[in-house]
Amino acid sequence: AQLDRFMFRILIDYPTFEEELQIAETTTSQDKPDLNSMLDSAEIMQLQQVVRKVIVGKSIAAYAVRLVRGTRPFSDESPQFVKDYLTWGAGPRACQALLMGAKANALLEGRFHASIDDIRYVAFPVLRHRLVTSFSAESDGVTTDKIISDLCDQTSEEL
Domains of the chain (ranges; CATH) run: 55-159 (1.10.8.80)
Q: Is 86 helix (H, G, I), strand (E, B) or coil?
A: strand
Model confidence band, residue 30 (pLDDT cutoffs 50, 70, 90): confident
Of all residues in the chain, what percent carry a pLDDT higher than 90? Answer: 80
Q: In this predicted structure, what is the pLDDT of residue 16?
A: 94
Element (H, E) at 71: none
Kindly state the average pLDDT of the residues 25-41.
Answer: 88
106 Cβ neighbours under 8 A, 6+ residues apart: 54, 112, 113, 114, 115, 118
Q: Is 119 helix (H, G, I), strand (E, B) or coil?
A: helix
Distance between CA 62 and CA 114 in Å, rounded? Answer: 12
Q: In this predicted structure, what is the pLDDT of residue 43?
A: 93
Model confidence band, residue 84 (pLDDT cutoffs 50, 70, 90): very high
Task: Kindly report, residue by residue over 111-145, the tens digit of the pLDDT.
Answer: 999 999 999 999 999 999 999 999 999 999 999 99
SS3 breakdown of the chain: % helix, strand, coil, rounded to 5? 55, 5, 40
**Spatial contact of 144 and 128, defined as CB atoms under 8 Å apart:** yes
Q: Is 103 helix (H, G, I), strand (E, B) or coil?
A: helix
Q: In this predicted structure, what is the pLDDT of residue 4?
A: 65
Above 90 in pLDDT, residue 12? no
Element (H, E) at 108: helix 92-108
Q: Model pTM?
A: 0.84
Q: In this predicted structure, what is the pLDDT of residue 141?
A: 96
